[in-house]
Amino acid sequence: MNETEEIKETAEVTEEISAETEVIGTETAVQSADEEKEEKKDGNTKEKKPYTLRSFINDVCDIAETLIIFLLVFYLAKAFLFDQAIVEGTSMVPTLEDGEKLVYSKIYTPEDNDIVIVDTSSGDYENLGLIVKRVVATGGQTVDIRDGIVYVDGEQLDEQVYEEGDTLTASHFVNTLTPPRDVHQYPVTVPDGYVFVMGDNRGISEDSRGAKVGFVPEEKVIGKVVLRYSPFKEFKIFNY
């Protein structure tokens, strides 16, 4: 065999090996494609697993568990942190209108000018229920009412519109002069542990000036109004 024949034979062998490699590669590719199809088929089969009664029960249990946790958190917050109240009457006009819905915080120490919720359902009250008023003075402060003007510790309250946009400009709003009523001899000092409250609509408000309310024990002040959420157009966060 001469050199030319050897080269030719080597080329033929190389071509045969290349052909066999291509066949093997093609078979591997086909096998891979078949396996991929089988995997997709298996995946689709798993996705289309029938919805059984057990699955339904598991879903219901998950929803019930979430609902129970939500209600537990809600009632704990309602019991110890926040609650809601509805304004009845016009004793706080124009700050609060009849029918408006409020949220009040139960974590609270009474301070001057705060709008508060007072519980009159027990004690010496005539059971006025929950009432909403403004704290005018706290224990140890002296309240005086002369010629329809309210003084606390000798200083006249600025009884004007207290809101101008979002800026606090004065401490109160009253739409009439403040009648003193006849339960106190003014000036009067608020006992320690009590607060003196008034409605912003001083002409009609039943509050600490009268015998039905009088001085309010601090434990009867069950919270401070922090939010008005209804009607929505009157939504407001109270920043005192």
C-alpha span between 147 and 163 (Å, rounded): 25
> Residue 102 corresponds to which amino acid?
L
**Cα 85-88-94 angle, rounded to 5 deg:** 100
Compute CA 161 distance to the chain's CA centroid, rounded to the nearest angstrom: 28
Catalytic residue status for 91: yes
DSSP β-bridge partners for residue 187: none
* Catalytic residue (choose from 37, 46, 133, 171): 133
Q: How far apart are the first and last CA of the chain?
A: 112
Q: Tell me how far apart the alpha carbons of residues 36 and 27 are, in angstroms, rounded to a whole number.
A: 14
Active-site annotation holder among 8, 46, 78, 91: 91
130-138/142-146 β-pairing: unpaired
133 is catalytic: yes
Q: In 81-133, where does DSSP find H-type helix?
A: none
Residue 92 corresponds to which tokens in the numbers above?
């706080």
**Residues known to be catalytic:** 91, 133
